[in-house]
Amino acid sequence: MAHHGGDWSIHQVVAIHEWGETFYAPPSSRQDDRILLEGNEAHHLARVLRKRLGDRIGVMDGEGNYYICEIESVEEFVSLRIVRHLPNRGETHRPAVLLQAILKEPAMDDVVDKATQMGVTSIVWVPSTHVVGNLSEAKLERHLRIARAAAKQCGRSRIPKIEKAVAFEEAVVKFRHWRITHVAHPLDSPSNFVSVDYSEKGEMIDGGVLLVGPEGGFTPDETAIAQRYRFAPLSLGNRRLRSGTAATVGLAILLRELGEF
Protein backbone atom coordinates (compact mmCIF):
# COMPACT_ATOMS: atom_id res chain seq x y z
CA MET A 1 0.00 0.00 0.00
CA ALA A 2 1.47 3.37 -0.96
CA HIS A 3 2.08 6.17 1.52
CA HIS A 4 1.62 9.74 0.48
CA GLY A 5 4.86 11.76 0.56
CA GLY A 6 7.61 11.82 3.22
CA ASP A 7 8.86 9.00 5.39
CA TRP A 8 6.02 8.06 7.69
CA SER A 9 7.70 4.97 9.09
CA ILE A 10 9.85 6.57 11.77
CA HIS A 11 8.07 8.01 14.74
CA GLN A 12 9.25 9.20 18.08
CA VAL A 13 7.05 9.42 21.12
CA VAL A 14 8.70 11.76 23.59
CA ALA A 15 6.89 13.98 26.09
CA ILE A 16 7.31 17.64 25.21
CA HIS A 17 7.37 18.78 28.85
CA GLU A 18 10.92 17.41 29.00
CA TRP A 19 12.12 20.53 27.19
CA GLY A 20 9.23 23.04 26.98
CA GLU A 21 8.57 25.39 24.06
CA THR A 22 8.94 24.64 20.39
CA PHE A 23 10.52 27.13 17.97
CA TYR A 24 10.50 27.17 14.19
CA ALA A 25 13.59 27.15 12.01
CA PRO A 26 13.38 26.19 8.31
CA PRO A 27 15.72 23.42 7.05
CA SER A 28 18.11 26.03 5.61
CA SER A 29 18.92 27.25 9.18
CA ARG A 30 20.58 23.94 10.02
CA GLN A 31 24.22 23.15 9.40
CA ASP A 32 25.44 19.78 10.68
CA ASP A 33 24.58 19.73 14.37
CA ARG A 34 23.94 23.49 14.66
CA ILE A 35 20.77 25.55 14.08
CA LEU A 36 20.60 29.34 13.86
CA LEU A 37 17.39 30.99 15.08
CA GLU A 38 16.64 34.38 13.57
CA GLY A 39 14.10 37.19 13.57
CA ASN A 40 10.95 36.80 15.67
CA GLU A 41 11.90 33.34 16.86
CA ALA A 42 15.24 34.58 18.22
CA HIS A 43 13.55 37.63 19.75
CA HIS A 44 10.87 35.52 21.41
CA LEU A 45 13.44 33.15 22.87
CA ALA A 46 15.86 35.79 24.14
CA ARG A 47 13.68 38.79 25.06
CA VAL A 48 10.23 37.37 25.81
CA LEU A 49 11.01 34.01 27.37
CA ARG A 50 14.48 35.10 28.57
CA LYS A 51 16.05 31.74 27.92
CA ARG A 52 19.62 31.23 29.13
CA LEU A 53 22.72 29.53 27.76
CA GLY A 54 22.45 25.78 28.32
CA ASP A 55 18.61 25.77 28.38
CA ARG A 56 16.93 23.10 26.25
CA ILE A 57 14.27 23.92 23.71
CA GLY A 58 12.47 22.12 20.85
CA VAL A 59 12.89 23.17 17.23
CA MET A 60 10.73 22.05 14.30
CA ASP A 61 11.70 22.63 10.70
CA GLY A 62 8.11 22.38 9.40
CA GLU A 63 9.08 19.51 7.08
CA GLY A 64 9.09 16.53 9.42
CA ASN A 65 12.15 17.12 11.59
CA TYR A 66 12.08 17.93 15.28
CA TYR A 67 15.21 18.61 17.29
CA ILE A 68 15.88 18.98 20.97
CA CYS A 69 18.57 21.66 21.20
CA GLU A 70 20.75 23.36 23.77
CA ILE A 71 21.24 27.12 23.62
CA GLU A 72 24.89 27.88 22.82
CA SER A 73 24.93 31.63 22.33
CA VAL A 74 22.41 34.45 22.38
CA GLU A 75 23.33 37.52 20.36
CA GLU A 76 21.53 39.00 17.37
CA PHE A 77 20.97 35.38 16.34
CA VAL A 78 20.56 32.44 18.66
CA SER A 79 22.91 29.54 18.07
CA LEU A 80 21.67 26.10 19.07
CA ARG A 81 23.40 22.72 19.30
CA ILE A 82 21.28 19.70 18.37
CA VAL A 83 21.18 17.16 21.19
CA ARG A 84 18.54 14.84 19.72
CA HIS A 85 16.80 14.38 16.40
CA LEU A 86 13.18 13.19 16.57
CA PRO A 87 11.90 12.58 13.03
CA ASN A 88 8.14 13.08 12.60
CA ARG A 89 7.59 13.96 16.25
CA GLY A 90 3.92 14.92 16.77
CA GLU A 91 2.85 13.62 13.35
CA THR A 92 0.17 11.09 12.48
CA HIS A 93 1.32 7.67 11.28
CA ARG A 94 -0.65 8.00 8.05
CA PRO A 95 -1.57 11.18 6.19
CA ALA A 96 -4.94 12.77 6.96
CA VAL A 97 -6.43 15.44 4.69
CA LEU A 98 -9.26 17.88 5.26
CA LEU A 99 -11.15 18.94 2.14
CA GLN A 100 -13.07 21.90 3.51
CA ALA A 101 -15.52 24.06 1.59
CA ILE A 102 -14.49 27.72 1.66
CA LEU A 103 -16.11 29.58 4.59
CA LYS A 104 -16.47 33.16 5.79
CA GLU A 105 -13.78 34.43 8.15
CA PRO A 106 -13.11 34.00 11.01
CA ALA A 107 -14.39 30.44 10.54
CA MET A 108 -11.54 29.49 8.17
CA ASP A 109 -8.87 30.73 10.60
CA ASP A 110 -10.42 28.60 13.29
CA VAL A 111 -10.56 25.50 11.06
CA VAL A 112 -6.84 25.91 10.23
CA ASP A 113 -5.94 26.26 13.91
CA LYS A 114 -7.94 23.23 15.08
CA ALA A 115 -7.19 20.94 12.13
CA THR A 116 -3.46 21.66 12.56
CA GLN A 117 -3.62 20.80 16.24
CA MET A 118 -5.43 17.58 15.36
CA GLY A 119 -2.58 16.59 13.05
CA VAL A 120 -3.81 16.98 9.46
CA THR A 121 -1.20 16.71 6.74
CA SER A 122 -2.97 19.17 4.51
CA ILE A 123 -6.03 21.35 4.21
CA VAL A 124 -7.55 21.90 0.79
CA TRP A 125 -10.09 24.72 0.43
CA VAL A 126 -12.80 23.55 -1.89
CA PRO A 127 -15.08 25.77 -3.99
CA SER A 128 -18.72 24.72 -3.81
CA THR A 129 -22.03 26.12 -5.09
CA HIS A 130 -23.21 27.49 -1.73
CA VAL A 131 -19.89 29.02 -0.71
CA VAL A 132 -20.30 32.61 0.54
CA GLY A 133 -16.75 33.58 1.54
CA ASN A 134 -13.84 34.11 -0.82
CA LEU A 135 -10.18 33.25 -0.64
CA SER A 136 -7.43 35.75 -1.49
CA GLU A 137 -3.67 35.13 -1.54
CA ALA A 138 -3.42 37.30 1.59
CA LYS A 139 -5.83 34.98 3.41
CA LEU A 140 -3.86 31.91 2.34
CA GLU A 141 -0.71 33.51 3.73
CA ARG A 142 -2.48 34.25 7.00
CA HIS A 143 -3.67 30.64 7.15
CA LEU A 144 -0.08 29.48 6.78
CA ARG A 145 1.00 31.71 9.68
CA ILE A 146 -1.84 30.34 11.82
CA ALA A 147 -0.88 26.76 10.87
CA ARG A 148 2.77 27.42 11.75
CA ALA A 149 1.85 28.88 15.15
CA ALA A 150 -0.52 25.98 15.91
CA ALA A 151 2.02 23.37 14.77
CA LYS A 152 4.67 24.91 17.03
CA GLN A 153 2.30 25.23 19.96
CA CYS A 154 1.39 21.55 19.89
CA GLY A 155 4.90 20.27 19.21
CA ARG A 156 4.51 18.99 15.66
CA SER A 157 7.40 18.69 13.25
CA ARG A 158 5.44 19.50 10.06
CA ILE A 159 3.42 22.53 9.05
CA PRO A 160 0.40 21.27 7.12
CA LYS A 161 0.15 22.27 3.49
CA ILE A 162 -2.70 24.65 2.73
CA GLU A 163 -3.97 24.95 -0.79
CA LYS A 164 -6.98 25.96 -2.80
CA ALA A 165 -8.63 23.60 -5.28
CA VAL A 166 -9.61 25.06 -8.62
CA ALA A 167 -12.96 23.25 -8.71
CA PHE A 168 -15.05 20.98 -6.50
CA GLU A 169 -14.75 17.94 -8.76
CA GLU A 170 -10.98 18.34 -9.17
CA ALA A 171 -10.52 18.17 -5.38
CA VAL A 172 -12.62 15.04 -5.01
CA VAL A 173 -11.11 13.20 -8.00
CA LYS A 174 -7.59 13.77 -6.71
CA PHE A 175 -8.27 11.77 -3.55
CA ARG A 176 -10.39 8.95 -4.95
CA HIS A 177 -7.65 6.35 -4.35
CA TRP A 178 -7.20 7.06 -0.66
CA ARG A 179 -8.10 4.24 1.71
CA ILE A 180 -10.67 6.15 3.79
CA THR A 181 -12.71 8.89 2.13
CA HIS A 182 -15.70 10.45 3.85
CA VAL A 183 -18.11 13.21 3.00
CA ALA A 184 -19.73 14.71 6.12
CA HIS A 185 -23.43 14.83 5.39
CA PRO A 186 -26.37 15.57 7.73
CA LEU A 187 -28.96 12.81 7.51
CA ASP A 188 -31.84 15.25 7.02
CA SER A 189 -30.24 17.11 4.09
CA PRO A 190 -31.29 16.52 0.51
CA SER A 191 -28.97 14.18 -1.38
CA ASN A 192 -29.11 11.51 -4.01
CA PHE A 193 -26.84 9.01 -2.32
CA VAL A 194 -27.42 5.52 -3.66
CA SER A 195 -26.07 2.25 -2.37
CA VAL A 196 -22.36 1.88 -3.26
CA ASP A 197 -19.81 -0.69 -2.16
CA TYR A 198 -17.10 1.40 -0.51
CA SER A 199 -14.94 -1.54 0.51
CA GLU A 200 -13.02 -1.98 -2.76
CA LYS A 201 -10.71 0.81 -3.89
CA GLY A 202 -8.03 -1.06 -5.87
CA GLU A 203 -4.48 0.32 -5.51
CA MET A 204 -4.75 2.64 -2.50
CA ILE A 205 -2.95 5.45 -0.76
CA ASP A 206 -2.89 4.50 2.91
CA GLY A 207 -4.42 7.64 4.39
CA GLY A 208 -7.74 9.31 5.15
CA VAL A 209 -9.70 12.21 3.70
CA LEU A 210 -12.69 14.10 5.08
CA LEU A 211 -14.82 16.38 2.90
CA VAL A 212 -16.92 19.00 4.74
CA GLY A 213 -19.50 21.29 3.16
CA PRO A 214 -20.11 25.04 3.39
CA GLU A 215 -22.62 26.63 5.78
CA GLY A 216 -25.28 26.34 3.06
CA GLY A 217 -24.49 22.64 2.58
CA PHE A 218 -23.56 20.71 -0.57
CA THR A 219 -25.96 20.56 -3.50
CA PRO A 220 -27.32 17.10 -4.38
CA ASP A 221 -25.10 17.24 -7.49
CA GLU A 222 -22.01 17.74 -5.35
CA THR A 223 -22.83 14.87 -3.02
CA ALA A 224 -23.46 12.72 -6.11
CA ILE A 225 -20.01 13.62 -7.49
CA ALA A 226 -18.41 12.83 -4.11
CA GLN A 227 -20.17 9.51 -4.05
CA ARG A 228 -19.19 8.70 -7.63
CA TYR A 229 -15.58 8.97 -6.48
CA ARG A 230 -16.28 6.70 -3.51
CA PHE A 231 -16.57 9.26 -0.71
CA ALA A 232 -18.78 7.49 1.83
CA PRO A 233 -21.41 9.62 3.61
CA LEU A 234 -20.55 10.19 7.25
CA SER A 235 -23.26 11.31 9.67
CA LEU A 236 -22.14 13.28 12.72
CA GLY A 237 -25.39 12.90 14.63
CA ASN A 238 -28.89 14.19 14.54
CA ARG A 239 -28.03 17.89 14.76
CA ARG A 240 -26.88 20.31 12.09
CA LEU A 241 -23.37 21.36 13.07
CA ARG A 242 -21.60 24.48 11.93
CA SER A 243 -19.12 23.61 9.23
CA GLY A 244 -16.06 24.18 11.46
CA THR A 245 -17.54 22.00 14.21
CA ALA A 246 -18.28 19.27 11.65
CA ALA A 247 -14.63 19.42 10.52
CA THR A 248 -13.36 18.93 14.09
CA VAL A 249 -15.76 16.11 14.95
CA GLY A 250 -15.31 14.43 11.56
CA LEU A 251 -11.52 14.60 11.84
CA ALA A 252 -11.69 12.97 15.26
CA ILE A 253 -13.58 10.05 13.70
CA LEU A 254 -11.21 9.87 10.74
CA LEU A 255 -8.11 9.88 12.96
CA ARG A 256 -9.64 7.16 15.09
CA GLU A 257 -10.28 5.09 11.97
CA LEU A 258 -6.67 5.64 10.94
CA GLY A 259 -5.63 4.20 14.31
CA GLU A 260 -4.27 7.43 15.79
CA PHE A 261 -6.18 7.18 19.08
State the residues that interact with ligand SAM by CB under 6 A: 184-186, 189, 212-213, 215, 217-218, 235-237, 239-243, 246
Query: Which of 152/182 has CB closer to ligand SAM?
Result: 182
Give least dist CB 183 to ligand SAM, A.
7
Question: How far is Cα 79 from Cα 46, in angstroms, rounded to an integer?
Answer: 11
Shortest CA distance to 125 belongs to which of 173, 171, 174? 171
Query: Which of 100/122 has CB closer to ligand SAM?
Result: 100
Give least dist CB 237 to ligand SAM, A.
5
Give least dist CB 254 to ligand SAM, A.
12
Query: Which of 24/168 has CB closer to ligand SAM?
Result: 168
Give least dist CB 189 to ligand SAM, A.
3
Shortest CA distance to 150 belongs to which of 175, 177, 176, 116? 116
Query: Which of 127/217 has CB closer to ligand SAM?
Result: 217
Query: Which of 2/167 has CB closer to ligand SAM?
Result: 167
CB distance 64 to 17 below 8 Å: no
Query: Which of 26/237 has CB closer to ligand SAM?
Result: 237
Question: How far is Cα 141 from Cα 159, in angstroms, rounded to an integer?
Answer: 13
Give least dist CB 242 to ligand SAM, A.
6
**Rg over CA atoms, the chain:** 20
Give least dist CB 222 to ligand SAM, A.
9
